[in-house]
Amino acid sequence: MVTSVFIVSPSSDLKKEFIDALIGGHAGSERPGWFKTIVCDADKERLAAKAAALGVPEGELYGISLSEAAELLNAGREGEIVERVLGRFHALAPKFTCLPVEGADLDHGHRGLGIQALDGSLAANLASPVAVVSRCSRCSATFSRLYRAQAAEVIQVILSGDADEEAGRKALDPMGIPLIKVQELSQGVPELGKKVKAFAPVNVTPKRFEYDLIERAKSKKQRIVLPEGDDERILAAADAVLRREFADITILGDPEAIRRKASELGLANLDKAELLDVGKAPFRKELVDQFFELRKAKGITPEQAEIQLQDRNWFGTMMVKAGKADGMVSGAAGSTADTIRPALSIIKTAKGNSIASSVFLMCMKDRVLVFGDCAIITNPTPQQLSEIAVTSAKTAKAFGVEPRVALLSYSTGSSGTGPDVDAVKEAVELAKKSLPDLYPGLALDGPMQFDAALDPRTAKSKMPGSPVAGQATVLVFPDLNSGNIGYKAVQRTSGAVAVGPIIQGLNAPVNDLSRGCTVPDIINTVAITACQAQARQ
């Protein structure tokens, strides 16, 4: 895996000088590369020289041109910039063992274009630690604050020349950012190298999460069935999935109607999808017969099985059960029950799970949190709540979120009593007893209030010594009422992207959409379902 570090400076010349020293310092034992986030006309000569030295085409060594970035920023399409830079960086990374990243030149008057904030966002999304190189103490502190404000992780400031070291330390100490003073820039390379090798990213940005999710889905493509072929959002999302080639798609509905609608909407990739009329599918009889065998003990007749599988959600679920698809996504036009009832009847819960539950992946500006259960279990018992906690931790881990589980209540620790908080206390004890068998070493604690779970200062006063308080990543709500209110409150007031609900605890992945879902919501849910299917295999 490549080691990267993101170098920024108020002076483009100083930044380039340090990057060259950094590359020279790694040339003996490693193969250093070079990547620049945003290039401008002044970079042409440098770009050509680096391409020749590294034996790599110029177009692979940078993320985007300044003119393109400015145009997309002005159009409000920053996400496209991030996607392009991430894609190019990760295409280049396997060719080198270490990859210094040269941030944008910020001394050419581009502040009005938002280039500074954009560069900080790119550093955060690349998950590269940031080093600030400067001759000015005040500027180094300003740059550190700027990049941190975009969720980038600044790990070092390197002051050179006549910079005031004492003033620099005074400005940086409150931020916890170490400073070293050097006369020659090459003197800063060994110290920075140690910190980069020890660096482990703390923050996961929404774009980074989405990129990693889709890359994971691409690694072993799965077939996902979408029963709601008459919904335009489903068709648009399917088109995007097929364009990005991270899953195979089956759409249920009238094939001719779907093709007409695709033409009207200008969707060019749906010819790659399998379009199925559930009444005419070539394997319909096979599924009906299997469904009858599964449900005959419940009193269903062959005629009733035939009728039941006219319903596209039931037919799609049977496709998953029979191995004709690896997972299903539905709910854009129906209720949660319409999606979940067939799954519970046909696919059933996995071994070790007494219930199916759900989580939302809450993509904040600087991290991804996991909220559960916000969609399925109305009033969980303490035993069910403990199961939700452990299952949610496993889901978090599967999607790259290191689980630290907080079971939430209106009271923290032993400060309160009453039936509701007592139920959470019991759930915590049950969960802790199950951990040696179900999830050894999992950090889990509670009951605790929402602020104690996430805010280190509050945690220090309310629950000192807890391995979870103040740094929770998985938040388990005591009931559906609080969970549903909680995720929507955070989503609407913070601008977080809520991905889900993700159904957990089933034998095969079936996921539900909100009727208010957007096309990006559907795309992400398809990717999640594909990754769940991979994990099952």
Q: Give the number of other Cβ atoms within 10 Å of residue 512's Cβ.
A: 26
pLDDT band at 252 (very low <50, low <70, confident <90, very high): very high
pLDDT for res 26: 63
Q: Determine the Cα–Cα distance for residues 498 and 362; give it in Å rounded to an integer.
A: 5
Q: What is the pLDDT of residues 79-125, one digit of tens each?
A: 888 888 988 998 898 888 888 888 888 765 544 446 777 888 888 88
Q: Determine the Cα–Cα distance for residues 530 and 297; give it in Å rounded to an integer.
A: 32
Q: In the 3-class helix/strand/coil scheme, how is 144-175 assigned residue by residue? A: HHHHHHCCCCEEEEEEECCCCHHHHHHHHHHH
SS3 452: helix
Kindly report the backbone phi and psi dihedral angles of residue 178, in degrees, each rounded to the nearest multiple of 5, phi listed first: -70, 150
Residue 409 has which token pair?
A: 């209540």
Q: Determine the Cα–Cα distance for residues 231 and 148; give it in Å rounded to an integer.
A: 41
pLDDT for res 113: 46
Enter the DSSP assignment of 374. S
pLDDT for res 425: 93
Q: In what order do the strands lie in the sheet with 497-504?
A: 443-448, 404-408, 474-476, 368-372, 357-363, 497-504
Q: Please state the separation of Cα 455 from the chain's center in Å.
A: 21
Top pLDDT among 433 and 26 is at 433
Most confident of 134-148, 178-192, 441-455: 441-455
Residues in the chain: 537
Residue 500 in this model has a pLDDT that exceeds 50: yes
300: left (phi over 0), alpha (psi -120 to 50) or beta: beta
End-to-end CA distance of the chain: 25
Top pLDDT among 348 and 199 is at 348
pLDDT band at 28 (very low <50, low <70, confident <90, very high): low
pLDDT band at 249 (very low <50, low <70, confident <90, very high): very high
Taking 3-state DSSP, the helix, strand and coil percentages for the chain, each rounded to the nearest 5, stand at 50, 15, 30
Top pLDDT among 478 and 491 is at 478
Beta strand 368-372 pairing with 474-476: parallel
Any alpha helices (H) in 245-335, and if so which ranges?
A: 255-265, 284-295, 302-308, 312-321
Closest CA to 228 of 343, 329, 346, 375: 329
Handedness of CA 76, 80, 81, 83 (dihedral sign): positive
CB 466 within 8 A of CB 456: no
Residue 9 in this model has a pLDDT that exceeds 70: yes
Output the CA angle 359-360-362, nearest 5 degrees. Answer: 140
Q: What is the pLDDT of residues 151-171, one digit of tens each?
A: 788 888 888 877 777 777 887
Q: Give the number of other Cβ atoms within 10 Å of residue 508's Cβ.
A: 21
Please provide the DSSP assignment of 57-71 as one string.
-GGGSEEEEHHHHHH
Q: What is the pLDDT of residues 194-215, one digit of tens each?
A: 887 777 766 677 777 788 888 8
Domains detected in the chain: 3-200 (3.40.50.300), 218-348+530-537 (3.40.50.10950), 349-505 (3.40.50.10750)
pLDDT, mean of residues 44-71 = 89
What does pLDDT average to over the chain? 86
Q: Give the number of other Cβ atoms within 10 Å of residue 354's Cβ.
A: 10
pLDDT band at 136 (very low <50, low <70, confident <90, very high): confident
pLDDT for res 112: 45
Q: Determine the Cα–Cα distance for residues 528 and 61; give it in Å rounded to an integer.
A: 31
Q: Give the number of other Cβ atoms within 10 Å of residue 333's Cβ.
A: 15
CB 529 within 8 A of CB 329: yes
Long-range own/partner contacts, residues 240-245 (CB < 8 A, 24 or more apart): 240/269, 240/519, 240/523, 241/523, 241/526, 241/527, 242/269, 242/270, 242/272, 242/273, 243/268, 243/269, 244/214, 245/218, 245/221
Residue 475 in this model has a pLDDT that exceeds 80: yes
Q: Determine the Cα–Cα distance for residues 105 and 102; give it in Å rounded to an integer.
A: 9
Which residues does 418 contact at the CB level (< 8 Å), separation at least 6?
411
pLDDT for res 203: 65
Top pLDDT among 111 and 259 is at 259
Handedness of CA 21, 25, 31, 37 (dihedral sign): negative
pLDDT, mean of residues 398-419 = 85
Q: Determine the Cα–Cα distance for residues 537 and 515; give it in Å rounded to an integer.
A: 30
Residue 39 in this model has a pLDDT that exceeds 80: yes
pLDDT band at 296 (very low <50, low <70, confident <90, very high): confident
* Percent of the chain at pLDDT exceeding 70: 96
pLDDT for res 260: 92
316-320, 326-330, 385-389, 503-507: segment of lowest average pLDDT? 503-507
- pTM of the predicted model as reported, rounded to 2 decimal places: 0.74
* Percent of the chain at pLDDT exceeding 90: 32
Long-range own/partner contacts, residues 452-460 (CB < 8 A, 24 or more apart): 452/406, 452/412, 453/406, 453/408
